[in-house]
Amino acid sequence: MEDKMVGRMRVIVNRVKRAYRFPRSPVNNTKRLAERCAEEWSHEYPPGTPLEFIRDEILECWKRQ
């Protein structure tokens, strides 16, 4: 199940990378991409879950890979 979720997340990340070009800034682009993915995946979490929590989980998942 997790492999399937990771594959789906990878597809979303690639779409976000193509759609958004971020200029250089103090905020890491990986963090910005994770924020966009968190918005896309918020329906997978209980209602009211903060996007920051989802973003941090996504970043941890990416670090493990």
Report whether pLDDT(24) > 60: yes
- pLDDT at position 53 is 95
- pLDDT at position 42 is 92
Contact 57, 2 (CB under 8 A): no
- pLDDT at position 1 is 47
Alpha carbons within 13 angstroms on the beta-carbon side of residue 45 total 16
- pLDDT at position 21 is 65
Average pLDDT over residues 44-57: 93
**How many domains is the chain partitioned into structurally?**
1
Domain of residue 13 covers: 2-64
Q: pTM surpassing 0.75?
A: no
Average pLDDT over residues 1-24: 70
Provide φ and ψ at 21, rounded to 5°: -115, 115
More confident residue, 2 or 32: 32
